[in-house]
Amino acid sequence: MAQSVSTAAPGGVEKLSAHRKLLAAGLFGSSIEWYDFFVYGTAAALVFPKVFFPDASALVGTLLAFSTFAIGFIARPLGGILAGHYGDKIGRKPMVLVCLISMGLATFLIGCLPSAAAIGSAAPILLVTLRFVQGLACGGQWGGIVLLLTESAGPKRRGFAGTFGQMGVPLGLVMGNLAMIVVNSATSDAAFMSWGWRIPFWASAALIPLVLYIHFKVEDSPEFRELQQTAEAKRGQEQIAQAPLSEAIRFHWRKILLGAGLLAATNSAFYVAIAGFLSYGTRSPAENGLGMDRNTVLTAIMVVSVMMPFAIVWAGKISDSIGRRPLIILGGGVLLLWAFPFFWLANTASGVLLFFAMLISSIGQSLTYGPLAAFMAELFEPRLRYSGASLGYQLAAVAVSGIAPLVMTWIIAETASTAGVSIYLAAMALVTVYCAWRLPETNSEAVRTDPEAVPGLPTAA
């Protein structure tokens, strides 16, 4: 059984302090990484159709812009595969650093791209290339950050610790939308379309000091370091998988697929709200939109995103007490029941009702997403964990996240109604409930009631 670290033990306070610094680094790193990834989605809805596809109609330009948005999600599984392979062999920390550097550089360069009016078809080609790099980086960073957090936490706090990676999603979205709102408010429409939209992309330079901090101050997770020490003691590599991805797929493919399905409800609802509705809500009625003010929609998304981290961290913490599956199933159920009421409220074009629609949806998303980092990590043994968890998480990015705005735009264009979008969201919620029901509970009652596990402190495996 794992031996716990007491607060009274020598170095216990120092370890607790180091773990808290790791939680802060994980939260900040995840937030900036997702900021870079999401600011692209906002620009794809508001700017890219005119900057990179100026000759296309409004509908076709939007579809093309969202197609480049989806490229990032297509690249994410490849990023997860590459980072997972090396993360299970050389460690979590090195891959986190590589992913943070790649994301920051790609995002900064997107802000430097000339428009299609300046360099023609080369502009969208370069845009797609840099978006692909963003996807690779995003695909790799999630597994690295959440494993650093959860593998460094005590058994009674893994759900809570994992939320410091999960909270980066809404916080990154808040920062991205806030940056766009500030720049949009401070510039004229012409200036915003010309150069103002670039400023949020250039802000990705904020990753540089974080990369330096992680490089010099953060150690790899205790579980991975133990694998390395065991392998060195045996003068072999029995403990460290030589082909972790292959082993994960061969022996755990059902868990990988079911793990991907856990994200179906929350990912579809999230991306329909932040990208699909942003485009639909701000388009004119002549273009099958609602004609809402751009800042009204952005503000509703931003305010809900400010509140969402509190629900995520609560759900993760509660999962340490009652288990992961009950909360994930409950969250899927909320999103199933809310699929139609969401659009009944949002279609009124009222900012207040839109906020309420998004708020209830975000509660369902948070109940699922909060425990998910710990749940996905605990499904796999440490030697294959980066590969297995990353692949499951990133498969959902391709199957659900990237195409959700495209599906929504296409359905509304074909039917002039959002009813089909609600059916799509309800179907995704059913997938999540089914997958959670089929998977085993990873936070057993025996672990939850273990008196030797000290909350909040790392333990040696």
Cβ atoms of 285 and 291 closer than 8 Å? yes
Cβ atoms of 321 and 364 closer than 8 Å? no
Kindly give, in sequence order, each residue whose CB lies less than 8 Å from that of residue 365, ignoring residues fewer than 6 positions away: 265, 266, 269, 270, 308, 331, 335
DSSP string for residues in 257-272: HHHHHTTHHHHHHHHI
- Per DSSP, which regions of 145-209 are E strands? none
Residue 457 lies in a domain: no
For residue 246, the model assigns a pLDDT of 77
Query: What whole-number distance in Å separates Cα of residue 423 and Cα of residue 400?
Result: 14
Q: Is the pLDDT of residue 438 over 70?
A: yes
CA angle 91, 96, 97 (to 5 degrees): 105
Range of the domain at 155: 17-230+239-443
For residue 4, the model assigns a pLDDT of 41
Please name every residue paired with 3 in a beta bridge, in sequence order, or none if there are none: 460
Kindly give, in sequence order, each residue whose CB lies less than 8 Å from that of residue 398, ignoring residues fewer than 6 positions away: 73, 74, 76, 77
Tell the residue number behind the tokens 């499904």, with chain if given.
Answer: 379
- Tell me if residue 3 falls in helix, strand or coil: strand
The pTM of this model reads: 0.81
For residue 451, the model assigns a pLDDT of 53
Query: What whole-number distance in Å separates Cα of residue 388 and Cα of residue 373?
Result: 12
Residue 322 lies in a domain: yes
Residue 8 lies in a domain: no
Question: CATH number of the domain that 141 lies in?
Answer: 1.20.1250.20
How are the residues of the chain apportioned to helix, strand and coil, as percentages rounded to the nearest 5? 80, 0, 20
Tell me the pLDDT tens digit for each residue of 391-431. 898 888 888 887 888 899 899 989 989 999 999 999 999 99
Residue 423 lies in a domain: yes
Q: Other C-beta atoms within 10 Å of 55: how many? A: 8
Residue 456 lies in a domain: no
- pLDDT-derived band of residue 180, with 50, 70 and 90 as boundaries? confident
Tell the residue number behind the tokens 């494993």, with chain if given.
Answer: 147
Residue 329 lies in a domain: yes
Tell me the pLDDT tens digit for each residue of 289-343. 899 988 899 889 889 989 999 999 999 999 999 999 999 999 999 999 999 999 9
Residue 37 lies in a domain: yes
Tell me the pLDDT tens digit for each residue of 114-139. 999 899 989 999 999 999 999 899 88
Tell me the pLDDT tens digit for each residue of 49-92. 889 988 888 778 888 888 888 888 888 888 888 888 787 777 77
Residue 195 lies in a domain: yes
What's the rounded mean pLDDT across residues 332-356? 96
| Burial of 426 (C-beta count, 10 Å sphere; 0-12/13-18/19+) | middle
| Burial of 11 (C-beta count, 10 Å sphere; 0-12/13-18/19+) | exposed
Q: Is the pLDDT of residue 360 over 50?
A: yes
By DSSP bridging, strand 459-460 and strand 3-4 are antiparallel
Cβ atoms of 173 and 34 closer than 8 Å? yes
For residue 353, the model assigns a pLDDT of 96
How far from each other are the two terminal CA atoms of the chain, in whole angstroms? 8
Please name every residue paired with 4 in a beta bridge, in sequence order, or none if there are none: 459
| Number of domains into which the chain is organized | 1
